Protein backbone atom coordinates (compact mmCIF):
# COMPACT_ATOMS: atom_id res chain seq x y z
CA UNK A 1 0.00 0.00 0.00
CA UNK A 2 2.86 2.38 0.85
CA UNK A 3 4.47 1.53 -2.48
CA UNK A 4 1.32 2.54 -4.38
CA UNK A 5 1.05 5.86 -2.50
CA UNK A 6 4.74 6.50 -3.10
CA UNK A 7 4.45 5.94 -6.83
CA UNK A 8 1.27 8.03 -7.08
CA UNK A 9 2.81 10.92 -5.16
CA UNK A 10 5.88 10.75 -7.39
CA UNK A 11 3.68 10.90 -10.49
CA UNK A 12 1.81 13.92 -9.08
CA UNK A 13 5.10 15.72 -8.41
CA UNK A 14 6.39 14.93 -11.90
CA UNK A 15 3.14 16.23 -13.43
CA UNK A 16 3.35 19.48 -11.45
CA UNK A 17 7.00 20.03 -12.39
CA UNK A 18 6.16 19.31 -16.03
CA UNK A 19 3.35 21.87 -16.04
CA UNK A 20 5.59 24.51 -14.45
CA UNK A 21 8.38 23.82 -16.93
CA UNK A 22 5.97 24.09 -19.84
CA UNK A 23 4.68 27.46 -18.57
CA UNK A 24 8.24 28.75 -18.17
CA UNK A 25 9.21 27.67 -21.67
CA UNK A 26 6.10 29.25 -23.15
CA UNK A 27 6.76 32.54 -21.41
CA UNK A 28 10.37 32.57 -22.61
CA UNK A 29 9.50 31.68 -26.19
CA UNK A 30 6.70 34.23 -26.42
CA UNK A 31 8.94 37.29 -26.37
CA UNK A 32 7.54 40.26 -28.16
CA UNK A 33 10.21 41.96 -30.28
CA UNK A 34 7.84 44.77 -31.35
CA UNK A 35 7.23 45.81 -27.74
CA UNK A 36 10.93 45.56 -26.94
CA UNK A 37 11.79 47.70 -29.96
CA UNK A 38 9.18 50.27 -28.92
CA UNK A 39 10.81 50.44 -25.49
CA UNK A 40 14.19 51.13 -27.08
CA UNK A 41 15.67 47.68 -26.49
CA UNK A 42 17.52 46.11 -29.38
CA UNK A 43 16.62 42.49 -29.98
CA UNK A 44 19.30 40.64 -31.96
CA UNK A 45 18.16 38.48 -34.85
CA UNK A 46 18.00 34.79 -34.02
CA UNK A 47 20.28 33.36 -36.67
CA UNK A 48 23.29 31.11 -36.58
CA UNK A 49 24.39 28.57 -34.06
CA UNK A 50 23.48 28.82 -30.38
CA UNK A 51 27.04 29.93 -29.63
CA UNK A 52 26.74 32.77 -32.15
CA UNK A 53 23.34 33.74 -30.77
CA UNK A 54 24.81 33.82 -27.28
CA UNK A 55 27.66 36.08 -28.40
CA UNK A 56 25.20 38.38 -30.18
CA UNK A 57 23.02 38.62 -27.09
CA UNK A 58 26.02 39.28 -24.84
CA UNK A 59 27.23 42.01 -27.19
CA UNK A 60 23.77 43.61 -27.30
CA UNK A 61 23.54 43.61 -23.49
CA UNK A 62 27.07 45.02 -23.21
CA UNK A 63 26.19 47.84 -25.64
CA UNK A 64 22.95 48.64 -23.82
CA UNK A 65 24.71 48.77 -20.44
CA UNK A 66 27.44 51.03 -21.83
CA UNK A 67 24.82 53.30 -23.36
CA UNK A 68 22.93 53.54 -20.06
CA UNK A 69 26.12 54.17 -18.10
CA UNK A 70 27.00 57.08 -20.39
CA UNK A 71 23.53 58.56 -19.91
CA UNK A 72 23.65 58.34 -16.12
CA UNK A 73 24.91 61.46 -14.33
CA UNK A 74 28.29 61.27 -12.67
CA UNK A 75 28.16 60.63 -8.92
CA UNK A 76 29.86 63.87 -7.97
CA UNK A 77 27.60 66.09 -10.08
CA UNK A 78 24.58 67.72 -8.44
CA UNK A 79 21.23 66.67 -9.87
CA UNK A 80 18.59 69.20 -10.78
Q: Place 76 in a pLDDT band, splitting at 50, 70 and 90.
A: low
**pLDDT value of position 69:** 85
**pLDDT value of position 28:** 74
Domain ranges for the chain, please list them.
2-28+44-71
Query: Tens digits of per-residue pLDDT, 2-55?
Result: 999 999 999 999 999 999 999 988 877 765 555 555 556 565 566 778 888 999
**pLDDT value of position 79:** 59
Distance of alpha carbon 20 from alpha carbon 11, whole angstroms: 14
Amino acid sequence: MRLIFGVLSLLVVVAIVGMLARKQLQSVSSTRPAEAAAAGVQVPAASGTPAQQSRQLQQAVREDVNKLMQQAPARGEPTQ
